[in-house]
């Protein structure tokens, strides 16, 4: 990358007025001309590098997502699930989630760094007031709270008052400060995108945990229904045994099956409580402060249209953060290039020195001074060239990170689409298997009552039915989780337009995605 000065013009920037008007005296013209060339900004101007291109998503070919196919509501993407409890929990994330608060504080810190960098564009003004008391045998001088002893035999005795003002200005001739401000502005936008990404990640994790919890509720409901069915089967075996047409082994087997399922039902509560505790943490609460009542698992799985792959560049906050980081690193190249040029500063001082205090601010007591300086490092053993090379390497690294982030985004969308497509097919096949297993249980149980089959056949069919029902439940759970993953991979309705612009950052306006 070859660097060139970006722009040259009045150092005070566009829209501001020059220090001298049209009536300036000719002797001030050279100084005016010098100031006009100030404002050159060295280093490369930022141009967004090309991102990896991708054709339409491969996993959409030949697959029409099942209904409902709702659009994600921007800012409340979880509304597509039509679950009031999920909505209540998700809205706590922005308010109470500590990770989101951490990134919000990080953004405010980045905004403060912008203000700190911009302050270097302006002069520094100081004021000093002092009083000196001198005597024949020495003197004691007090100024701004400092005390020093002068040598004895001073020829001047009495009290002297002084008030002095100073102005110093490091001129940003080569744009070093402006490049730093540019980098910090982009860095603030990186922090804003990181905040949006942290919020989206917390919301998606909560939704995933919520559907996992509801799957545990559904499993508990299934096991309760199964234990009731097994209890009826036990009653049948006892009746058959009492009638003398079945052995005690059938009763023992039926009772063991019932007790095993009851024990499995008890174990369901372990995983459910862990999911509830995780949701409490994500909403910023202690586990003891949050209780989620049992409810059914959602039967509808919304699939948000993914759009074109190129739209991901504007929809994912992590990609936006990587892109803004490139500009931040690009501007830092200019900061290092400016080190090759001399630092130029202006200084001025003025005030009043005299006695008595009542007549201090008179023309006769006025003092002043003006100064200018320039400094340049003549030999640094290659340190400045190394700094520029390091800045360029950091920029190249940010470009690679950006492109890798884009590729990762493509992969995550494709993964979620393939999961949804395959799981939809599996759900249909599993539903057929459950229906067939249910009919097999009915037929086998009737045959056992008639005494044509052994009870082991009933046990086999009942076990197969429960296994198929659990598999169907797991597939539905995976489909809902994959739906959340797709929405997260698509940015959750977020857009780069939501990033705070330059004016918002400079003004330090509060911002939340």
pLDDT tens digits, one per residue of 231-289: 999 999 999 889 888 889 999 999 999 999 999 999 888 899 999 999 999 999 999 99
Of the pLDDT bands very low, low, confident and very high (cuts 50, 70, 90), residue 360 is confident
Span 459-513, pLDDT tens digits: 999 999 999 999 999 999 999 999 999 999 999 988 888 888 888 998 888 877 7
Distance CA 197, CA 188 (A): 14
Residues 372-410: pLDDT tens digits? 999 888 888 999 999 999 999 999 999 999 999 999 999
Q: How far is CA 193 from the centre of its chain?
A: 5
Average pLDDT over all residues of the chain: 85
Is residue 76 pLDDT above 90, yes or no? no
pLDDT on residue 73: 43
Question: Which of 43-47, 144-148, 315-319, 454-458 shows the lowest per-residue confidence on average (mean pLDDT)?
Answer: 144-148
In percent, the amount of the chain with pLDDT more than 90 equals 62
Most confident of 157-161, 369-373, 463-467: 463-467
**Alpha-carbon distance values, 66 to 111, 167, 208, 332, 440 (Å):** 45, 71, 20, 50, 30
Q: Which of 499, 497, 487 is nearest to 204 (CA)?
A: 487
Q: Which helix (H) or strand (E) holds 159?
A: strand 158-171
Angle between helices 317-337 and 383-449 (to 10 degrees): 170
- Please give the domain boundaries of the chain with CATH numbers for all domains: 38-122+173-340+383-507 (1.20.1600.10), 123-171+342-375 (2.20.200.10)
User: Is the pLDDT assigned to residue 146 strictly greater than 80?
Assistant: no
Q: What pLDDT sits at residue 65?
A: 61
Cis, bond preceding 68 (omega within 30 deg of 0) = yes
3-state DSSP call for residue 403? helix
DSSP string across 11-76: TT-TTPPPSS-TT--GGGHHHHHHHHHTT---SPPP-PPPPPP--S-GGGTT--PPSP-PPPPTT-
Does 16 score more than 50 pLDDT? no
Cβ partners under 8 Å of residue 295, min gap 6: 85, 214, 217
Judged by phi (left if over 0) then psi (alpha if -120 to 50, else beta), residue 53 lies in beta
Pairing relation of β-strands 146-150 and 138-143?
Answer: antiparallel
Q: What's the whole-number mean pLDDT along residues 323-346?
A: 94
Q: What is the pLDDT of residue 395?
A: 96
pLDDT surpasses 60 at 352: yes
| Rounded to 5°, angle at Cα 65 from 60 and 68 | 150
**Higher-pLDDT residue of 57, 281:** 281
Say which residues have a Cβ less than 8 Å from residue 311's Cβ, sequence separation at least 6: none
- What crossing angle do the helices spanning 176-242 and 98-118 adopt, rounded to 10°? 180
pLDDT value of position 60: 80
State the CB neighbour count (10 A cutoff) for residue 238.
16
Angle, CA of 78, 61 and 212, to the nearest 5°: 30
What is the DSSP-derived secondary structure letter of residue 390?
A: H
| Number of other CB atoms surrounding residue 297 within 10 Å | 18
The confidence score (pLDDT) of residue 39 equals: 59
Angle (nearest 5°) at CA 299 between 419 and 263: 90
């Amino acid at each position: 990358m070859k660097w060139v000065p970006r722009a040259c013009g009045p150092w005070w920037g566009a829209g501001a007025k020059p220090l001298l008007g049209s009536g300036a005296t000719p002797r001030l013209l050279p100084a005016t001309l010098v100031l006009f060339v100030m404002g050159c900004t060295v280093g490369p101007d930022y141009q967004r590098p090309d991102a990896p291109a991708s054709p339409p998503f491969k996993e959409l070919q030949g697959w029409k997502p099942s209904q409902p196919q709702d659009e994600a509501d921007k800012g409340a993407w979880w509304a597509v699930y039509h679950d009031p409890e999920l909505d209540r929990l998700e809205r706590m994330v922005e308010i109470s989630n500590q990770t989101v608060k951490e990134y919000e504080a990080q953004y405010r810190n980045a905004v403060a760094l912008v203000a700190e960098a911009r302050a270097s564009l302006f002069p520094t003004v100081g004021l000093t007031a002092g009083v000196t008391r001198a005597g024949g045998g020495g003197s004691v001088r007090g100024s701004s709270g400092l005390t020093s002893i002068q040598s004895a035999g001073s020829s001047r005795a009495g009290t002297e008052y002084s008030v002095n003002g100073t102005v110093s200005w490091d001129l940003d001739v080569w744009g070093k400060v402006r490049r730093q401000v540019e980098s910090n502005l982009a860095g603030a936008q990186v922090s804003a995108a990181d905040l949006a990404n942290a919020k989206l990640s917390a919301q998606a994790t909560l939704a995933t945990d919520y559907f996992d919890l509801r799957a545990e509720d559904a499993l508990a409901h299934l096991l309760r229904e199964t234990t009731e069915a097994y209890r009826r089967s036990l009653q049948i075996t006892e009746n058959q045994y009492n009638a003398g047409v079945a052995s005690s082994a059938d009763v023992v087997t039926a009772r063991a099956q019932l007790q095993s399922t009851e024990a499995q039902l008890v174990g369901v509560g372990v995983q459910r409580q862990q999911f509830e505790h995780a949701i409490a943490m994500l909403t910023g609460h202690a586990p003891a402060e949050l209780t989620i009542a049992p409810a059914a698992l959602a039967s509808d799985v919304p699939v948000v249209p993914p759009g074109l792959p190129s739209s991901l560049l504007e929809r994912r906050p992590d990609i936006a953060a990587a892109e803004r980081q490139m500009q931040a690193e690009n501007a830092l190249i200019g900061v290092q290039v400016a080190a090759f040029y001399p630092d130029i500063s202006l200084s001025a001082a003025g005030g009043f020195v005299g006695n008595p205090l009542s007549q201090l601010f008179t023309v006769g007591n006025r003092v002043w001074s003006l100064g200018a300086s320039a400094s340049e490092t003549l030999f640094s053993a290659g340190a400045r060239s190394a700094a520029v090379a390091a800045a360029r390497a950091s920029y190249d690294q940010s470009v690679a990170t950006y492109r890798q982030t884009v590729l990762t985004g493509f992969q995550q969308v494709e993964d979620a689409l393939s999961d949804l497509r395959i799981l939809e097919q599996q759900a249909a096949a599993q539903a057929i298997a459950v229906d067939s297993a249910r009919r097999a249980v009915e037929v086998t149980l009737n045959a056992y009552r008639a005494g044509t089959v052994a009870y082991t056949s009933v046990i086999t069919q009942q076990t197969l039915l429960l296994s198929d029902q659990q598999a169907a439940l797991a597939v539905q759970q995976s489909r809902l989780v994959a739906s959340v993953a797709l929405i997260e991979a698509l940015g959750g309705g977020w857009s780069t337009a939501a990033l705070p612009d330059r004016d918002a950052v400079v003004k330090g306006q509060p911002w939340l995605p």
